[in-house]
């Protein structure tokens, strides 16, 4: 009985939580509909992305696009590694280094017991 009661309470709490979140999202989206359809904005974004270049990042498709529309262009980074294949090299090093460190610390963690 106790277990059933606990499960019921858990289910109820989760349902209430999800309902609140969904309601908040719906209220948010409904309010936004005052300024244009949700679906159409999302569709325009996707179409714009496809037009510009397939598989571009959301920094280009969303962040930089909106910034440009409002007169704010992205500047070159302080250390500009985005030149030719230099960025590939930097990402490869960062990936290899990050992967090695993750593996090393995972091993230390699991051996520590």
Partner 1 sequence: MKFRISLTILLSLFLYVPEVYAMHISEGILPFNWAALWFGLSLPFVAGGIYLLKKKVSSDLSLKPLVGLMAAVVFIISAMPIPVPTAGTCSHPCGTGISGILLGPFISTVVASIALLIQALFLAHGGLSTLGANILSMGVVGSFAGFLGFRLMRLSGLPLYLSGFIAGLLADWATYLTTSLELASGIRGDAPFLPLFGKIAIAFIPTQLPLGVLEGAITGGMVVLLYKKRPDLLVKMGVIRAVEM
Closest CA to 64 of 78, 52, 81: 52
DSSP 64: I
Q: Locate 62 and state its tokens.
A: 């969303």
Q: Contact, 59 vs 77, CB < 8 A?
A: no
CB of 112 to partner 1, least distance (A): 6
27-56: which residues touch partner 1 (CB under 8 A)? 28-29, 31-32, 34-36, 38, 41-42, 45-46, 49-50, 54-56
Binding mask 13-32 for partner 1 (x = CB under 8 A): xx--x----------xx-xx
Q: Locate 63 and state its tokens.
A: 């962040």
76: contact with partner 1 by CB under 8 A: yes
4: contact with partner 1 by CB under 8 A: no
Closest CA to 89 of 81, 79, 78, 99: 81
Interface residues with partner 1 (CB under 8 A) are 6-7, 9-10, 13-14, 17, 28-29, 31-32, 34-36, 38, 41-42, 45-46, 49-50, 54-59, 61-64, 66-67, 70-82, 87-88, 90-92, 94-96, 98-110, 112-113
């Amino acid at each position: 009985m106790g277990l059933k009661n606990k499960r019921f309470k858990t289910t109820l709490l989760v349902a209430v939580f999800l309902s609140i979140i969904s309601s908040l999202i719906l209220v948010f989206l409904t309010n936004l509909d005052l300024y244009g359809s949700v679906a159409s904005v999302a569709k325009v974004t996707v179409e714009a992305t496809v037009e510009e270049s397939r598989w571009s990042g959301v920094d280009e498709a969303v962040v930089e696009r909106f910034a440009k529309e409002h007169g704010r262009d992205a500047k070159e980074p302080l250390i500009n590694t985005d030149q030719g294949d230099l960025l590939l090299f930097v990402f490869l090093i960062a990936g290899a280094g990050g992967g090695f460190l993750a593996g090393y610390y995972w091993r230390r963690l699991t051996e520590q017991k």
